[in-house]
Structure 1
Amino acid sequence: MSETATAPAATGFKREIKLFDAVMLVAGSMIGSGIFIVSADIGRSVGSAGYLLLVWGLTGLMTLAGALSYGELTSLMPRAGGQYVYLRESYGPLVAFLYGWTLFLVIQSGTIAAVAVAFARFTGVLVPWFSEETILLDLGFFQFTSVQLLAIASIILLTLVNQQGVRNGTIIQNIFGSTKIIALFALLGFGLLLGTNAEVMDLNFSNLWDAQSVVLDKETGAITRTTLSGWALMVGIGTAMIGSLFSSDAWNNIGFSGDEIVNPKRTIVLSMAIGTGLVTILYILINVVYLAILPLQGDPAGIDVLSRGIQFASNDRVGTAVAEMIGGAPATIAIAILIMISTFGCNNGVILSAPRVYYAMAKDGLFFPRMARLNKNGVPGAALAIQCVWASLLCLSGRYSDLLDYVIFAVLLFYILTIAGIFVLRRTMPDAPRPYKAIGYPVLPALYIIMASFICTILLIYKPDYSWPGLILVGVGVPVYFLFGKRFRKIED
């Protein structure tokens, strides 16, 4: 039987995600709040317009290389669970469990919490009551704010929408995904037409490659600028890419929903290629607009957005600072609405996709059996509910942003293992049908592995506070696997 938009897959999932839906899931999950914020930290790490754009360009190259390579795995195994399934077939259940364990504990749930709080914070621009200074409950050791309230409410709302079926989730994603892409192009147009500052452009682009790191002493307010060259410059670029890589992450989430996609062997690959390409171009152009309106270098004690520059934009909100330069308060409100749309749509995509991994793990007897059940609407309702509870708790913990920093290393580690799985499966499954083969194999997959491994090495050496805890978090999953793996299977039996 041919796959149609309404025909159920053998697993009980409904195939309702078409190409446009899939592209919106890819792009919508990638575009959150990062593009409006992380350029400030990148600017402090590399200190010049040329290297700022290079960081975003390298991130785009790395993301595209990963997506075009990853596509071979999605066409080989277009099933619910995505990356979990690829790791299981390449290396066995332990490595696959470690990925799912980390995904549930921090990567996806932590991302949901962080993006929900970003949504709530920017809502405060329109409704000032939503502020971290509006404390609803104060127990001394714990404070519950209106921002946390709205963040949790948004997670619950999106979870309830996705409980009603994958079609509802994709409708939300299509509306918000396409709206924010259109709005980003509008920001590009208005920025270039109304905000371009010739003096700022001359300042930024006359010293394109004068790299320097900037460190702010929070106690004294003093800044230290250090010229970068050679190995120090490579380290600066590697650490700067942390923010841009996370802003470009979630490009692979569409693979989690393989059993719900119409013609998945074609659609998943195309959607990842189109979605990542579109977002990469948008990100680079947005940063060109930033550099055309605000000076890269700035003073943290500056009295206005122009003097603070990109490096020291208030709360790192570069997008808001640019909007203020373009059109004052009305433009600031407009960009706040854009970021609200962006974060809401981003969270919908993540909330929709991740439970498919927990479903696949439970089907293998490696997670709570209840997560392997689909509700009457053909979606993993229990997995959605448990994810909602855990992400909401992370909103309350106040530690989710730290956990996200800690897991950067683990995220890249699993991407490296997944792309390396292409080489493994070419050897162990040489005759399996591959409707799509990785473009540029073996060079392009190897390029991704080399680039990601370099960043991991930089993180281990120069960011031990972030990389080692992430690695330990993954390692803790090993005893969990051996302690609870058999119990899950017994419960299932």
Structure 2
Amino acid sequence: MKIVPEQHEDMKRELGLLDATMLVAGSMIGSGIFIVSSDIVRNVGSAGWLIFIWLLTGLITVIAAMSYGELSAMFPKAGGQYVYLREAYNRLVAFLYGWSLFMVIQAGTIAAVGVAFAKFTAYIFPALSDENVLWDLGNVKINAAQLVAIATVVILTWVNSRGVRNGKVIQTVFTLIKILSLGGLIVMGLIGAFNTQIWNTNWAAAWDTVRWDTESGAAIPIGGAAVFAGIVSAMVGSLFSSDAWNNVTFIAGEIRNPRRNIGMSLFLGTMIVTVIYVSANLMYLATLSMEQIAFAPADRVAVVAAQAIFGEVGTLVIAVMIMVSTFGCNNGLILAGARVYYTMAQDGLFFKRAGELNKFEVPGWGLWAQCIWTSVLCLTGRYGDLLNYVIFVVLIFYALTIGGVFILRRKRPDVERPYKAFGYPVLPAFYILAASTICVGLLIYQPTFTWPGLVIVLLGIPVFFVWNKKGFAMDAQIDTDD
């Protein structure tokens, strides 16, 4: 049987509780909260259901985060979720997660967030718009926004390759700025621009089950299975807007007192973001009609709300906020991702160079490999499709990881657990049930979002056997040398 090598503890533990919490919150808050409420309203139709979707998303996210707290206290090492899956299941399951993370989840999210930064930068500098096509290569068109996105990814990769301290300063500062600016926007909307007539109208039919038709612009009553389909479809956006909270587990090797601080940061970060997201949607309901939310131009509901609050300058306000939000979000994603590839390489399941630290004691090779692949996704423009494909897969891996809490309590009852999953076994089981229900709904009502994602994951199986064979060969060589 292959013995998994012990991880080298060469990383500097320079991140405290504030830094870890800011990484959780900063990685979660990107551009989603400014956009996805439009799609949610088109699917579920009314104010009560809109808030219900965000509350449900927040609830299951916090439950998942608290369950991960137990795992992070048991295995306070770089790699996080990859390590938890390896310890609870086996190397194959862990590799398939790492494979999906590198190929799509992390790189695709970084690309999408980078392009969102570029698109809103174009509000200030129109020449940087995605409509400014610089090179037409037939099937591939390279525009200014793509180059801006790649430039930000390269800059942030360079900063993070020069030590974790540089990355943590950017993360903490930008996350604090966007939390404060979002808070200011919410207060201005709920107090300064509160429209009593719009608020009362929105809540008068709070629990009507309707779907807003994009062609006619009318609210169409729905019932039965259509309501469930609407909820499942609506949660695609809210779940992605609340994703990436697990990134803090990837950098456990660089967090001080990880057995305490990772679990605490997961809880604090997800709670902060949940409160912000629900409050932002209450602000939308206080300033915009349901129809305005459903049919905001290009789904940019925050822009329409800011215009109602600040007038025409509102567009500029939101553009700057999204630039700050996405820049900080990408810094956290870039910082964290390479730590998973570092641990995979030490297990013999990724390029050997990815398992080495540079002179600044960070996995520089993994950072630049992630940067190159992200840049390719930016240029192809396929990151949006890829992210849609893996929504289903992301939920499966979350459910499997939380299932690992149950498995490890049975398999390894004697391992020290400084922190135990809150509400065990009820709340972790509730998350698994909720995630499984959403997955079933996606399989039935959004098949284009599910089967391609499964194919991407399954393609990792033959790759695993190639890497695993290399790992066994390497071990055999080491044994011979000994």
1:168 is matched with which residue? 166
Give how far 1:331 is off.
Answer: 2.2
- What letter is aligned with 1:285? S
Given that 1:369 and 1:491 are in contact with CA atoms closer than 8 Å, whether structure 2 keeps it comes out as no
Q: Aligned to 1:432, what secondary structure does the other structure show? A: coil
- What letter is aligned with 2:225? W
Unaligned stretches of 5+ in structure 1? 1-8, 298-308
Q: Deviations over 1:277-315 (max 9, x none)?
A: 000000000000000000012xxxxxxxxxxx0001010
2:4 is matched with which residue? none
Distance in 2 separating the partners of 1:187 and 1:430: 48
Over the matched positions of the two proteins, sequence identity in percent amounts to 54
2:430 is matched with which residue? 447
Q: Does 1:150 align with 2:127?
A: no
1:274 is matched with which residue? 268
- What letter is aligned with 1:373? E
1:62 counterpart (60, 63, 66): 60
Q: Does 1:246 align with 2:244?
A: no
Q: Deviations over 1:431-466 (max 9, x none)?
A: 100000011100010010000000000000110011
Distance in 1 separating the partners of 2:474 and 2:250: 25
- What letter is aligned with 1:404? L
Distance in 1 separating the partners of 2:219 and 2:179: 36
2:322 is matched with which residue? 339
1:421 is matched with which residue? 404
Q: Deviations over 1:197-217 (max 9, x none)?
A: 12211210111000111232x
2:462 is matched with which residue? 479
Q: Aligned to 1:447, what secondary structure does the other structure show? A: helix
Give how far 1:491 is off.
Answer: 6.3
Distance in 2 separating the partners of 1:408 and 1:12: 34
1:363 counterpart (341, 346, 352): 346
Distance in 1 separating the partners of 2:217 and 2:279: 29
Range 221-230 or range 232-241, more displaced = 221-230
1:438 is matched with which residue? 421
Distance in 2 separating the partners of 1:228 and 1:76: 47
Give how far 1:472 is off.
Answer: 1.4
Alignment of 1:170-319 (within 5 A): 170-216=168-214, 221-223=215-217, 225-297=219-291, 309-319=292-302
TM value normalised by structure 2: 0.96
2:34 is matched with which residue? 36
2:72 counterpart (58, 71, 74): 74
Given that 2:347 and 2:471 are in contact with CA atoms closer than 8 Å, whether structure 1 keeps it comes out as no
Distance in 1 separating the partners of 2:60 and 2:356: 36
- What letter is aligned with 2:71? L
2:113 is matched with which residue? 115
Q: Deviations over 1:26-73 (max 9, x none)?
A: 000000000000000000000000000000000000001101111100
Distance in 1 separating the partners of 2:247 and 2:45: 33
Q: Deviations over 1:378-407 (max 9, x none)?
A: 100000000000000000011100000000
Give how far 1:129 is off.
Answer: 0.8
2:449 counterpart (450, 454, 466): 466
Give how far 1:490 is off.
Answer: 4.3
Distance in 2 separating the partners of 1:472 and 1:225: 36
Q: Does 1:45 align with 2:43?
A: yes
2:21 is matched with which residue? 23
- What letter is aligned with 1:282? I
Distance in 2 separating the partners of 1:114 and 1:329: 27
Distance in 2 separating the partners of 1:474 and 1:165: 32
Alignment of 1:315-330 (within 5 A): 315-330=298-313
Q: Does 1:397 align with 2:380?
A: yes
Given that 1:368 and 1:488 are in contact with CA atoms closer than 8 Å, whether structure 2 keeps it comes out as no
Q: Aligned to 1:279, what secondary structure does the other structure show? A: helix
Unaligned stretches of 5+ in structure 2? 1-6, 478-482
Range 167-176 or range 330-339, more displaced = 330-339
Q: Does 1:378 align with 2:372?
A: no
Given that 2:67 and 2:402 are in contact with CA atoms closer than 8 Å, whether structure 1 keeps it comes out as yes
Change (3 A) 1:431 1:315: same
Range 473-482 or range 104-113, more displaced = 473-482
Give how far 1:473 is off.
Answer: 1.1
Give how far 1:270 is off.
Answer: 0.4
Q: Deviations over 1:144-198 (max 9, x none)?
A: 1110110000000000000010010000001100000000110011112322112
Given that 1:75 and 1:269 are in contact with CA atoms closer than 8 Å, whether structure 2 keeps it comes out as yes
Q: Deviations over 1:297-336 (max 9, x none)?
A: 2xxxxxxxxxxx0001010001111111111222221111
Q: Aligned to 2:294, what secondary structure does the other structure show? A: coil
Distance in 1 separating the partners of 2:458 and 2:217: 38
Q: Give the root-mean-square deviation of aligned CA atoms.
A: 1.3
Distance in 2 separating the partners of 1:224 and 1:190: 30
Number of aligned residue pairs: 470
Distance in 2 separating the partners of 1:53 and 1:73: 31
Distance in 1 separating the partners of 2:357 and 2:346: 11
Distance in 2 separating the partners of 1:114 and 1:132: 13
1:106 counterpart (104, 107, 116): 104
Give how far 1:224 is off.
Answer: 6.0
TM value normalised by structure 1: 0.93
Q: Aligned to 2:135, what secondary structure does the other structure show? A: strand
